[in-house]
Amino acid sequence: MKKKSLNVKKKIHKKLLINLKNPLIYKIYKDFNNFVKFNLNQSSFSVGISGGVDSLALTYLSKCYSISNNVEVKFYHVDHKLREESSLEAKKLKLLLKKFDIDCKILKWNGKKPKSNIQSIARKKRYSLICNECIKDNVNFIFVAHHKDDLYENFIIRLLRGSGLKGLVSFNQVKTRFNEKLEILRPLIGYKKTDLNYITKKVFNFKFEDNSNQNINFKRVRIRNLIDILKSEGLNMEKLKLTISNLSDSNITINYYVNRNIKHNSKYNRKRKNYILNSHFFNQPHEIVFRSLMHLLKKIGNKYYSPRGKSVSYLLTKFGSGEIKKINISGCILEKINNSFVIYKEK
């Protein structure tokens, strides 16, 4: 690198780090720094950037960590091409971040777009594109900017869907595994969006907000508006946080018995790449069996998202009644052979 370019980069880095003198920004960065060192141990990681205030705050914190610890960080932005202006915004975001010595790679979603369930499908595609890029770049960790407000929104959405305990608290986890090679981490889940907005305004003074975030045709937007109304009616967010925390503790307890059931009542055949389940596997409380089976189907199918709960419940009912001996589900096959059950990937 030329001396002039190196000097420019040093000036940019110095300007970025000066913002850490701000007490609030420093407090959040200190927590972020400890989080990364505890969970990654100096490994490189990637950041998903939407262009909103939360992801830009995460981008800044990650860049500071990269500078201070000499750790490589990859930055990715997905252009979903769902809006006419999305590609132009992606190019503008890349150019603006370049001024802060942040190289953001644009990943494009080409092909036919959905006409319904748009946000859910777009979210899956976004993770898929970023994860594939991580594999190419030999990165094992993806940071996303989910925050405390997202946690509350997701809890209410899941509650209205009739989700079980695991679904209600799933967003409260700071780490989830995408597949055997990749983990998704949420280092900002304990902070409010207002805190992240403060960082972005101080550091970048620009943001890109998707207009769909104001579109009441989307359930998440309506839930967000509902929460604001409930706050004015006396909803205590700290008590809601405590409720989620208590439910999370119960979820950890159930997971203990799920892991024990899998350990003692199933066996992985490396040669055939299947799981063999003994009869005791199903001789547990319903929730333990349900989750154990969900986990194995997800692992054999090598998918980030678990199979639909209704499908697994239907499967358990049919097998319990003895009506069927073999069934296809979520890219896997569950087959009863004598007194045992085998799960293997569908060819």
Q: What CATH number has the domain bearing residue 47?
A: 3.40.50.620
Same structural domain, 28 and 94: yes
Predicted local confidence at residue 304, as pLDDT: 65
Same structural domain, 268 and 153: no
Alpha-carbon distance of 56 to 230, in angstroms, equals 28
4 pLDDT tier (thresholds 50, 70, 90): low
243 domain-assigned:
no
244 domain-assigned:
no
| Stretch (H or E) spanning 261 | helix 237-265
Mean pLDDT of 170-183: 81
Same structural domain, 208 and 322: no
Condensed to tens digits (0 to 9), the pLDDT of residues 294-314 reads 889 888 887 766 777 778 887
Q: Higher model confidence: residue 220 or residue 67?
A: 67
Same structural domain, 83 and 231: yes
Predicted local confidence at residue 3, as pLDDT: 59
Same structural domain, 77 and 205: yes
Alpha-carbon distance of 229 to 226, in angstroms, equals 5
18 pLDDT tier (thresholds 50, 70, 90): very high
Condensed to tens digits (0 to 9), the pLDDT of residues 39-49 reads 987 789 999 99
Predicted local confidence at residue 31, as pLDDT: 96
- What separation, in Å, do the N-terminal and C-terminal C-alpha atoms of the chain show? 50
Predicted local confidence at residue 109, as pLDDT: 92
Predicted local confidence at residue 166, as pLDDT: 86
Of 185, 209, 235, the last residue of a domain is 235
**Total of domains in the chain:** 2
Same structural domain, 189 and 303: no
Integer angstrom CA distances of residue 1 from 4, 9, 36, 43, 123: 8, 10, 29, 24, 38
Of 209, 235, 261, the last residue of a domain is 235
CB 109 within 8 A of CB 83: no
Alpha-carbon distance of 195 to 149, in angstroms, equals 11
Same structural domain, 151 and 212: yes
Look up the domain containing 153 and give its range: 3-235
Condensed to tens digits (0 to 9), the pLDDT of residues 329-341 reads 888 888 888 878 8
Predicted local confidence at residue 32, as pLDDT: 96
Same structural domain, 210 and 318: no
Predicted local confidence at residue 331, as pLDDT: 85
Output the pTM of the full model. Answer: 0.83
Predicted local confidence at residue 339, as pLDDT: 78
Q: Check whether 101 has a pLDDT greater than 90.
A: yes
Same structural domain, 118 and 208: yes
Q: Check whether 98 has a pLDDT greater than 70.
A: yes
Cα dihedral: 56, 58, 64, 66 (round 10):
-110
235 pLDDT tier (thresholds 50, 70, 90): confident
Alpha-carbon distance of 141 to 183, in angstroms, equals 5
Tokens in use for 168?
Answer: 């209600």
Condensed to tens digits (0 to 9), the pLDDT of residues 103-146 reads 999 999 988 888 888 878 888 899 889 989 998 999 999 999 99
58 pLDDT tier (thresholds 50, 70, 90): very high
Of 180, 211, 235, the last residue of a domain is 235
